[in-house]
Amino acid sequence: MESINRYLEKLPFWGRLSIDEQELVKKYSSIQKYEKGRLIHGCDSNCLGMITVLKGSIRTYMMSEEGREITLFKLYEKDTCVLAASCIISQITFDTFMTAEEDCDILVIQASAFLQLIEKNIYVKCYMYELSTERFSSVMWSMQQILFMKFDRRLASFLMDEYERTGKNEIKMTHEQIAQNTSSAREVVARMLKRFASEGLVEIKRGTIRLTNVEGLRDII
């Protein structure tokens, strides 16, 4: 319990909760672990509540009836999201999926407790709407890229984002994983990476893309 309290006390709204509300959150919070590739949240899964990533990363996406996936955004350590509480937030009217891209530890405030907070505490309610707006902006950016940006720019942008996030010029992902993250097809990713390799921008290894010309990739964007 001491360990989970340490994380709860870092929540932006924690200091705005009453003693009773803090006790409610403590009672209905848990740290859950998910192995890489496991579904965390989906249209047929239980409504989790508000989640905060403690370790690992999560890909959030939509899926068409034909099974095509469109990545909306990714969550990393310290990121918080309320889309997993969509069952109690009436403004969220579309189904999203969340999958662990790495082994994950996440802090979960159960949906029932989170609902009580947003109904009774204006600070939590405002935080929820602020967070929802931030995620919606991420979704709109992803849609803008898919609809209006050529794939060479999208792929270069994704590679640069991973480089800047990790500080490493080796990206350990398969073509399929990159395709999922760029909302494209594996074959399209393979062709574009082959072009980038012929231009001296990357080196392709099994399960790894090595960036050999960062400035060249940045110029494409």
Residues 51 and 77 in one domain: yes
What per-residue confidence (pLDDT) applies to 55?
A: 95
* Domain enclosing residue 133, as ranges: 2-147
Structure pTM? Answer: 0.79
Residues 12 and 62 in one domain: yes
Pull the structure tokens for residue 85.
Answer: 């509480």
Residues 97 and 48 in one domain: yes
Residues 86 and 162 in one domain: no
Per-chain mean pLDDT for the chain: 90
**pLDDT higher for 136 or 108?**
108
Residues 109 and 214 in one domain: no
Q: Any idea what the CATH number is for the domain that residue 121 is in?
A: 2.60.120.10
> CA 115, CA 88: separation in Å to the nearest integer?
7
Residues 128 and 157 in one domain: no
Examine the fold and report which residue of 129, 147, 165 is the final residue of a domain before the chain moves on.
Answer: 147
Residues 154 and 143 in one domain: no
pLDDT in tens, 3-48: 899 999 999 999 999 999 999 999 999 999 999 999 998 866 667 8
Does the structure show a pLDDT above 60 at 2? Answer: no
